[in-house]
Amino acid sequence: MDFHSLTSLDETLEKLAAYGSDATLVAGGTSARYLIMSGQVEAKAVLHIERLSEFAGITLNGGARLGALTNMRDIAEDTAIIARFASLATAAGKCGGWQTQSIATIGGNVCGASPSADLIAPLLVQDAEIELHSQARGSRTVALTDFLVAAYKTDRAADEMATAFHLPAQPGESADTYIKIQRRSAMERPIIGVALRLALDESGENIREVRIAVCGAGPMPFRASEAETLLAGQAPTDEAVRAASDAIIKRSTFRDDARASASYRAAVLPRAFAHALSLCRATIAGA
């Protein structure tokens, strides 16, 4: 196996063009290292990109731009992210222990496309886009909803590197949160994760817009668009919340694994959703 420690985007794209699908990009390595050592990924070349520092960091531009090599701890502790994109900050702060958070990157978490990846659901409710670069085609930006293809599969071509995530500005009278159901308080993937962004109308009584994303309830994290449609323009009554919960359950595909049973996931998901909605309403009311 070849190992290359790279220091520039041009150098990285050159190696990706040469090796194609035989190359594996590694930054923090919290996921890639395990996949390589366990034989789940057969790579002829490991491209170490941790030193590409220009792709780490957060820039505010109405919304926010997060370099793909930004680590979880920096996201969790950034005051602007906490204020504007609270669900993302919360998810980053719950992604493993502090040692993992200090090296794990947003790019690795998303591009791994795990069904239980913590950051994907919060990014989905922000309508995030991902920026990719290749030597042959230059740069392109794609909506995260289109980037995720299936479990552990994305739209990233073999010669592309993810370089940034773009989060558009969100409505002023809105709030977002992330609820993670897990067996321990740290070092756990979610049994169920629910991200939600809520905007109320001028009266403060009816839902103007709601975005809901779920992880751990199917082969890949997803936007619960049917539930969003049911709630739009409605008062968040118990009846409306139950109808939305039923729509989320119908959209889900639960499974048994070492962390939880399918029946437990089905039971806890509506509670997590209702709690997320309640937290967002309380945040808006207290603003």
For residue 118, is it within any domain? no
Q: Are residues 159 and 221 in the same domain?
A: no
Per-residue pLDDT for 237 more than 90? yes
Whether 133 maps to a domain, the answer reads yes
192-200 sheet: strands from edge to edge: 174-181, 192-200, 207-215, 222-223
Q: What is the mean pLDDT of the segment spanning 49-70?
A: 96
Which CATH number is 152's domain given?
A: 3.30.465.10
249 is in which domain, residue-wise? Answer: 174-286
Same structural domain, 185 and 202: yes
* pLDDT, tens digit, 9 for 90 and up, residues 92-137: 999 888 888 889 999 999 998 988 899 999 999 999 999 999 999 9
Question: Which pLDDT belongs to residue 169?
Answer: 94
What value does the mean pLDDT take over residues 217-230? 96
Q: Are residues 157 and 64 in the same domain?
A: yes
Q: Is residue 80 part of a domain?
A: yes
The CA distance from 151 to 220, in Å, is 5
Number of domains the chain contains: 2
20 and 85 part of one domain: yes
pLDDT tens sequence across 14-41? 999 999 999 999 998 777 766 666 666 6
* 56 and 186 within one domain: no
Residue 138 phi, psi (nearest 5): 75, -140
- Asked if 240 contacts 226 with a C-beta cutoff of 8 angstroms, the reply is no
Which pTM was predicted?
A: 0.94
Q: What is the CATH number of the domain that holds 218?
A: 3.30.390.50
Q: 48 with 186, same domain?
A: no
Q: Is residue 28 part of a domain?
A: yes
233: pLDDT strictly greater than 80 = yes
Spatial CB neighbours of 140, under 8 Å, sequence gap ≥ 6: 131, 132
| 194/158 same-domain check | no
Q: Same domain for 145 and 71? A: yes
